[in-house]
Amino acid sequence: MPDTVTLGDRLTVSPMGFGGMALTPVYGGEIDDTESIATLHHAIDVGVTFIDTANVYGGGDNERLIANVLADRRDEVTIATKFGIDGNPADRAGGEVRPRGDAAYVRQCVDESLARLRTDVIDLYYMHRRDVRVPIEETVGAMAELVTAGKVRHLGVSETTAAELRAAHAVHPIAAIQSEWSIWSLDIERTVVPTAVDLGIGVVPFSPLGRGFLTGSVRSAADLGERDFRKNIPRFTGSALDANQAVVAAVVDVAAEVGATPAQVALAWLRHRAETFGVASVPIPGTRRAARIDENLESLSVSLSAAQIERLSAAGESVSGERYADMRSVGTGRE
């Protein structure tokens, strides 16, 4: 298993990352901060040192939580955070939540994140969502000023179109694009991944186990069912849900064949997929449990045969339903 992976702009990170949003009650359930901090420490202990968060997760609470770990281990961690979603998605009474990308907002957000993280510099700073009301050159130009000021080391974008990725990269080198990518979410493969390859930009897949498919207690087709956080996602409704259960079943079947868990197979398939495209890629699965970190990390040692990869890829091509009810917020919804 590789010790590191180099994304774009010479940013070198651990081959597996950690998605910090899992430590925010987005998907329900009680969160124990003591356990969350222990989970983060365990991730670093086993070499998962690329930690991803965002200012919008828990209204800043996720960054504050991670700051407790950075206090003693900042030099061991590559910390990524984001700006660009104005409002708190968890606060349904708080008004409209929408992308925002004006230069003044970029400057405001980075200072707030630095304060919450209690650090002097952010290793990778993402534009979380594209604000189509603002030229991308203005947003990325303001981000580039943060690099010059020493507040940020590398720049990233999230869920942009291929054209937006090119425009951003023309302003300042982009180290990574973060988008949903898994056996259940192949839409970025049409234009975004080839563009990333062409520009030498890395891809950081979020929800690499599929949002709601192999997360939490969902580790088999039998476990997959309706839950509150899925009720507005088209792929979890009606006939789409039935069709997508077959994809879970395919992953479970291959897992039994290779003696791995379904999550490990999903991650191994994604690794092979990125290799096929020739793109540097580091997924950031999230979890609240230290044991899941070990499980996910062990996927780097899982090998799949060409036939198994083809079977899983064919299953992925059959996924039914969009990944968001409103796709306009993500790049593939604007292409």
Distance, CA of 39 to CA of 79 (rounded, Å): 16
Mean pLDDT, rounded, for 186-193: 95
Residue 301 is assigned to a structural domain of this protein = no
Tell me the CA distances in angstroms from 218 to 27, 75, 107, 210, 226, one per residue in order: 13, 35, 40, 11, 11
* Packing angle of the helix pair 262-277, 290-297 (nearest 10 deg): 40
Distance, CA of 7 to CA of 174 (rounded, Å): 9
Q: What is the pLDDT of residue 31?
A: 82
Residue 198 is assigned to a structural domain of this protein = yes
Catalytic residue among 27, 57, 126, 324: 57
Residue 233 is assigned to a structural domain of this protein = no
Tell me the CA distances in angstroms from 254 to 205, 224, 307, 323, one per residue in order: 22, 17, 10, 24
At 224, the pLDDT band (50, 70, 90 cuts) reads very low
Rg (CA), the chain: 19
Q: What is the pLDDT of residue 233?
A: 75
pLDDT tops 80 at residue 108: yes
Q: What is the pLDDT of residue 74?
A: 98
pLDDT tops 60 at residue 46: yes
pLDDT tops 60 at residue 229: no
Q: What is the CATH number of the domain that holds 105?
A: 3.20.20.100
Half-sphere exposure of 161 (CA within 13 A, CB side): 13
Mean pLDDT, rounded, for 62-79: 97
pLDDT in tens, 113-165: 999 999 999 999 999 999 999 999 999 999 999 999 999 999 999 999 999 99
Residue 333 is assigned to a structural domain of this protein = no
| Spatial CA neighbour of 295 closest among 285, 304, 308, 306 | 285
Residue 305 is assigned to a structural domain of this protein = no
**Is 51:78 a contact under the CB 8 Å cutoff?**
yes
Residue 208 is assigned to a structural domain of this protein = yes
Half-sphere exposure of 131 (CA within 13 A, CB side): 21
- Distance from CA of residue 256 to its chain's centroid? 27
Residue 226 is assigned to a structural domain of this protein = no
Distance, CA of 169 to CA of 81 (rounded, Å): 19
Question: How many domains does the chain fold into?
Answer: 1
For 39, the domain range is 5-216+267-288
Mean pLDDT, rounded, for 11-22: 97
Task: Provide the sign of the torsion angle of the four alpha carbons 254, 256, 261, 264, taken in this order.
Answer: negative
pLDDT in tens, 292-334: 999 999 999 999 999 999 999 999 998 877 777 677 778 777 7
Mean pLDDT, rounded, for 169-180: 98
**Is 289:295 a contact under the CB 8 Å cutoff?**
no
Residue 318 is assigned to a structural domain of this protein = no
The verdict on whether 27 is a catalytic residue reads no
Mean pLDDT, rounded, for 92-103: 77
pLDDT above 70 as % of the chain: 89
pTM of the model: 0.92
pLDDT tops 50 at residue 201: yes
Mean pLDDT, rounded, for 22-36: 79
pLDDT tops 60 at residue 227: no
**End-to-end C-alpha distance for the chain, whole angstroms:** 36
